[in-house]
Amino acid sequence: MDTISENRSFGGIQGVYRHHSDSCGCPMTFGLYLPPQAATAPVPMLWYLSGLTCTHENAMVKAAAQQHAARAGIALVFPDTSPRGEDVADDKDYDLGQGAGFYVNATQAPWAPHFRMWDYVAEELPRLLDNAFMIDPDRQAITGHSMGGHGALTLAMNLPGRFASVSAFAPIAHPTQSDWGRKQLGAYLGDDESAWAAHDATLLMRESGFGGPVLVDQGNEDQFLDLLKPEALAEAMAARRQPGQFRMQKGYDHSYFFVSTFMGDHVAFHADALGLA
Ligand SMILES: N[C@@H](CCC(=O)N[C@@H](CSC=O)C(=O)NCC(=O)O)C(=O)O
């Protein structure tokens, strides 16, 4: 693993690292914020999964999460959103291919050789972090924005016991019924829609829900509301009586100004679930 950069931030270290990924078959870059508390003992970890067009960097520099993580004593992990490189398949559209991995293991050509973001985030990167950093693998939580909110919710509900809590900012909430979902799940997983269900937060919420608390924030001025379909997830949470909160935030759009506004609430929510508050 190569260190790309390390900068002091709120008493901790914001690092950027690159390593060869066996899952994705290419070099992958991630950001990791270690709070001051990691200097003396392993700390719990909050995953932040990013949205379409993002690299590891967008949230790292725009979500304003480090100050809250430093206060709580929690590490932040910022994975990339897809495999990348000249040998990696891509598409002319921003919402497919590089920058749009959708947190699935692709089974279809030309994506299958590299687009294995599920394995990367669920298996490979946690192992690497556990081996290389002062992280407590038994205390993890997960959040994300838009496509990353979809990733956070689907990972959390598919891996019971892994995450103490899950939250999401404007998640792609019902991808099997949205143009942000049908196109990508079809391309990566094929035409058999039964393979898509495990990657739809609304269907998973209806089917099983999540064993810990859930927090979802959504701006009511979000320019992508029709693609995100927040009402489907909110209805599924209510029908299941899922412990948690779905908050419709007046006047907020889809941008990182929205994410950074509520980041403190989300870190505090996860800190509480992780026993830090
Ligand atoms: N280019 C596209 C939209 C791109 C966009 O808004 N991406 C969001 C995530 S959308 C869902 O996953 C994002 O996080 N962008 C990065 C940022 O730093 O803001 C378009 O113009 O329609």
* 277 pLDDT more than 90: no
> Between vectors from CA 143 to CA 138 and to CA 199, what angle results, nearest 5°?
95
ipTM score assigned to the predicted complex: 0.95
Within 8 A by CB and 6+ apart from 159, the residues are 122
- Residue 50 alpha carbon, nearest atom of ligand 1: 14
Q: What was the pLDDT predicted at 2?
A: 98
Q: Which domain holds residue 29?
A: 2-273
Show the ligand 1 pocket: residues with CB < 6 angstroms: 51-54, 58, 62, 94, 145-147, 254-256
Nearest CA to ligand 1 atom 5: 52
Torsion of CA 146, 147, 149, 150, to 10 degrees: 130
User: Which DSSP letter does residue 277 get?
Assistant: -
Q: What was the pLDDT predicted at 154?
A: 98
DSSP string for 84-126: -STTS---SSTTSBTTB-TTSB--STTTTTT-BHHHIIIIIHH
Within 8 A by CB and 6+ apart from 262, the residues are 169, 217, 249
Helix H segments across 123-192?
125-132, 147-158, 182-189
Average pLDDT taken over every residue of the chain: 98
The domain tally of the chain equals: 1
35: preceding bond cis by omega (within 30 degrees)? no
Does the pTM surpass 0.90? The reply is yes
Q: What was the pLDDT predicted at 251?
A: 98
* 27 pLDDT more than 80: yes
Q: What was the pLDDT predicted at 34?
A: 98
CATH classification of the domain holding 142: 3.40.50.1820
Provide mean pLDDT across the span 98-121.
98
Provide mean pLDDT across the span 229-237.
98
CA of 206 to the centre of ligand 1 (A): 28
d(CA 268, CA 248): 19
Structure tokens at 184: 């990508």
Q: Is 208 helix (H, G, I), strand (E, B) or coil?
A: coil
Give the type of residue at 155. Answer: L
Q: What was the pLDDT predicted at 223?
A: 98
> What would the pLDDT profile of 158-200 be if each residue is shown by its tens digit?
999 999 999 999 999 999 999 999 999 999 999 999 999 999 9
d(CA 101, CA 118): 9
> What would the pLDDT profile of 115-140 be if each residue is shown by its tens digit?
999 999 999 999 999 999 999 999 99
> What would the pLDDT profile of 53-94 be if each residue is shown by its tens digit?
999 999 999 999 999 999 999 999 999 999 999 999 999 999
Q: What was the pLDDT predicted at 176?
A: 98
d(CA 12, CA 34): 5
